[in-house]
């Protein structure tokens, strides 16, 4: 027995040591793997942070380029002789032939592989909600056409929302009235009663703004509007300029916004049909400009030629559009990191363009 023990004991001890070595080796390799992985992750984080900073800087630079474009466009249009006064003077108006539109979808690539795309759009290319209920201080009143137009606009947006019709529990007329009450200076609902009832029952309670809208996002605070509806509305509308803006710029608006032209004789206005939208687009493609004033001696075509002669358009338009407000979207990409800066700039004062909005995405 004892000799058996003599032979077997070292053998068992050797086995245990071997097992221990294996466990240690395993632990070592596990910690090596996790150390290596950590090192790789750390270097990726550092690289990502570098890319992120570079992308953010590139996007900010893109905004400066965009501002340079809208100012150069203004100077090219003949404001140079009035540079000292810096006042907004009549220019040929905003069209898609302008300098600021020439960089659309053009990708600028820097020496280190970063890329930048700048998209500039005039405010008139969207329907200005603040032109529907134009601000006039305490005298601000929504015209009857404002409610009718908002009903048609909201119904169109609701109809086009890509969700199940059963989920569209919106009432366009109620929404239109709630939006007017949010913007008008009084505290009485369009249908009578206090405007604050709904808002005071919220947690936390708040009040209607009773002033022009400061952002499209603000519409989400209005009774009956939810995030989905505001998102659907976003591609059609703007709130700029906040005061003193006109209706849609027929010379720059995309087809889905042109479809919001509300036209006709008083009391019988309707959204225009696809034929009118097509007519405007064809005129633009032919290098013509839709004008509301004199059409003599220029590339102007009249509203009548667009089948918009009879009656009027609401909100009122003045073409060529002289709006000084532009949205600049600057999207930069470095490695796998993308940064977008969205700004709204007013170029009315050439020496001091005003930054009205800034958001990093
Ligand atoms: Ca009201
Ligand atoms: Ca109100």
- Tell me how far apart the alpha carbons of residues 235 and 340 are, in angstroms, rounded to a whole number: 17
Per-residue model confidence as pLDDT tens digits over 213-245: 999 999 999 999 999 999 999 999 999 999 999
- Domain stops at, among 273, 292, 314: 314
Q: Please tell me whether residues 225 and 271 are part of one structural domain.
A: no
DSSP H/E element including 214: none
242 alpha carbon – ligand 2 mean position (Å):
17
Q: Quick check: 89 pLDDT over 90?
A: no
Residue 178 CA, ligand 1 centroid: distance in Å = 8
Q: How many CB atoms lie within 10 A of CB 233?
A: 20
Mark whether 229 and 149 lie in a shared domain.
yes
Query: 151 C-alpha vs ligand 1 centroid, how far in Å?
Result: 16
We report the CATH number of the domain holding residue 172 as 1.10.40.60
Query: Is residue 187 assigned to a domain?
Result: yes
Boundary (domain end) residue, out of 282, 297, 314: 314
pLDDT value for 141: 86
Q: Kindly state whether residues 220 and 287 are assigned to the same domain.
A: no
CA of 199 to the centre of ligand 1 (A): 14
Q: How many C-beta neighbours within 10 Å does residue 158 have?
A: 20
How much distance in Å is there from the Cα of 145 to the middle of ligand 1? 15
* Backbone φ and ψ of 116, nearest 5°: -140, 135
* Gap from CA of 183 to ligand 2 centroid (Å): 6
| Least confident span in 18-32, 36-50, 78-92, 337-351 | 78-92
Same domain, 259 and 229: no
Tally of structural domains, the chain:
2
Domain assignment of residue 191, yes or no: yes
User: Do both 228 and 194 map to the same domain?
Assistant: yes
For 188-210, what is each residue's pLDDT tens digit?
Answer: 999 999 999 999 999 999 999 99
Range of the domain at 304: 254-314
Looking at 298, 314, 330, the residue that finishes a domain is 314
> What pLDDT was estimated at residue 21?
76
Compute the distance between CA of residue 66 and CA of residue 332 in angstroms, rounded to an integer: 13
CB 272 within 8 A of CB 264: no
- Opening angle at CA 330, ends 324 and 333, nearest 5: 175
* Alpha-carbon span 282 to 97, nearest angstrom: 14
Per-residue pLDDT tens for 105-126?
889 998 888 999 999 999 999 9
285 and 221 within one domain = no
φ/ψ of residue 350, rounded to 5:
-60, -35
Q: Is 232 inside any structural domain? A: yes
Confidence of residue 9 (pLDDT cuts 50, 70, 90): low
User: Does 299 lie in the same domain as 265?
Assistant: yes
- State whether 198 and 226 are in the same domain: yes
Residues 207 and 285 both lie in one domain: no
If one compares 80 and 349, the residue with the highest pLDDT of the two is 349
Q: Which residues of 293-306 are buried (b: 16+ CB within 10 A; e: fewer)?
A: eebeeebbbebebb
Answer yes or no: is 200 within a domain: yes
In a domain, 128, yes or no: no
Which contiguous run of DSSP H or E holds residue 199? Answer: helix 196-200
Q: Which ligand is nearest to the CA of 189?
A: 1
Question: Do residues 143 and 206 both lie within one domain?
Answer: yes
Assigned domain for 360 exists: no
Q: Look at residue 306 and tell me if it is in a domain.
A: yes
d(CA 320, CA 35): 65
- 32-58 mean pLDDT: 82
Sheet of 270-271: strands edge to edge?
A: 270-271, 262-264, 312-314
* Confidence class for position 136, pLDDT limits 50, 70, 90: confident
Pairing verdict, β 262-264 and 300-302 = unpaired
Judgement on whether residues 226 and 308 belong to the same structural domain of the protein: no
Put residue 284 in one of left, alpha, beta given phi > 0 → left and psi -120 to 50 → alpha: alpha
Residue 357 lies in a domain: no
Q: How far is the CA of 351 from the centre of ligand 1 (A)?
A: 39
Between the CA of 170 and the centroid of ligand 2 the distance, in Å, is 21
Question: Which ligand is nearest the CA of 185, by number?
Answer: 2
């Amino acid at each position: 027995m004892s000799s058996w023990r003599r032979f077997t004991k070292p053998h068992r001890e050797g086995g245990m040591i071997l097992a221990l070595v294996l466990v240690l080796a395993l632990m070592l390799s596990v910690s090596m793997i996790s150390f290596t992985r950590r090192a790789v992750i750390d270097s990726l984080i550092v690289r990502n942070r570098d890319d992120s900073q570079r992308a953010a800087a590139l996007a900010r630079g893109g905004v400066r380029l965009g501002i340079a474009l809208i100012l150069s466009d203004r100077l090219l249009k003949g404001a140079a002789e009035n540079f000292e006064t810096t006042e907004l003077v009549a220019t040929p108006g905003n069209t898609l032939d302008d300098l600021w539109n020439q960089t659309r979808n053009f990708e600028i690539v820097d020496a280190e592989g970063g890329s930048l795309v700048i998209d500039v759009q005039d405010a008139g290319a969207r329907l200005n909600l603040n032109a529907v209920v134009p601000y006039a201080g305490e005298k601000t009143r929504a015209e009857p056409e404002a409610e009718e137009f908002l009903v048609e606009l909201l119904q169109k947006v609701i109809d086009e929302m890509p969700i199940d019709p059963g989920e569209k529990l919106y009432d366009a007329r109620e929404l239109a009235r709630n939006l007017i009450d949010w913007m008008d200076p009084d505290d009485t609902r369009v249908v009578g009663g206090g405007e604050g009832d709904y808002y005071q029952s919220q947690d936390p309670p708040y009040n209607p703004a009773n002033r022009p809208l400061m952002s499209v996002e603000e519409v989400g605070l209005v009774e009956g509007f939810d995030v989905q509806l505001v998102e659907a509305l976003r591609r059609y509308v703007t709130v700029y300029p906040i005061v003193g803006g006109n209706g849609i710029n027929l010379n720059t608006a995309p087809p889905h916004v042109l479809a919001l032209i509300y036209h006709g004789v008083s009391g019988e206005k309707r959204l225009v049909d696809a034929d009118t939208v097509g007519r405007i687009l064809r005129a633009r493609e032919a290098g013509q400009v839709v004008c509301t004033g004199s059409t003599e001696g220029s590339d102007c075509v009249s509203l009548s030629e667009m089948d918009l002669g009879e009656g009027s358009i609401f909100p009122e338009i003045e073409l060529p559009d002289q709006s000084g407000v532009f949205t600049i979207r600057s999207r930069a990409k470095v490695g796998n990191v993308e940064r977008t800066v969205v700004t709204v700039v007013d170029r009315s004062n050439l020496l001091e363009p005003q930054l009205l909005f800034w958001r990093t995405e």
